[in-house]
Amino acid sequence: MNKDIVEGLKGGAIIALSASPFAVLFGAVAVDNGLTVLDAALMSATIYAGASQLVGIELFGQHVAPWLIVLSIFAVNFRHILYSAAIARHIRGYSFLQKAIAFFFLIDPQFAEAIRRAEQGRALTFTWYMAFALVIYFPWLFFSTLGAWFGSMLGDPRVWAIDVLLPVYFLGLVLGFRRKPGFYPVVAASMAGSVAGYYLVGSPWHVSIGAICGVLVAALLPLPAQPVATQVSEEATS
Partner 1 sequence: MDDLSTLWLILAAALATYATRVGGYVLITRMRTLPPRLEQALNAVPAAVLTTLWAPAFFTNGWDVRLALIAAALVSLRYPGLIMLAAGWAAAMLARHAFGL
Compute the least distance from the CB of residue 205 to partner 1, in Å.
10
| Residue closer to partner 1, measured from CB, 44 or 125 | 44
Pairwise CA distance, residues 184 & 187, whole Å: 5
Compute the least distance from the CB of residue 61 to partner 1, in Å.
11
| Residue closer to partner 1, measured from CB, 52 or 145 | 52
Residue 37 burial (10 A CB sphere; 0-12, 13-18, 19+): middle
Compute the least distance from the CB of residue 214 to partner 1, in Å.
3
Compute the least distance from the CB of residue 2 to partner 1, in Å.
24
Compute the least distance from the CB of residue 188 to partner 1, in Å.
9
Contact 236, 119 (CB under 8 A): yes
| Residue closer to partner 1, measured from CB, 5 or 218 | 218
| Residue closer to partner 1, measured from CB, 106 or 134 | 106
Contact 194, 207 (CB under 8 A): yes
- Torsion sign over Cα 56, 62, 65, 71: negative
Q: Please spell the DSSP secondary structure of 80-136, one letter per residue.
A: HHHHHHHHGGG-TTS-HHHHHHHHHT--HHHHHHHHHHHHTT----HHHHHHHHHHH
| Residue closer to partner 1, measured from CB, 178 or 238 | 178
Contacts of 64 (CB under 8 A, 6+ apart): 72
Pairwise CA distance, residues 162 & 159, whole Å: 8
| Residue closer to partner 1, measured from CB, 2 or 14 | 14
Compute the least distance from the CB of residue 161 to partner 1, in Å.
4
DSSP-derived secondary structure letter, 225: S
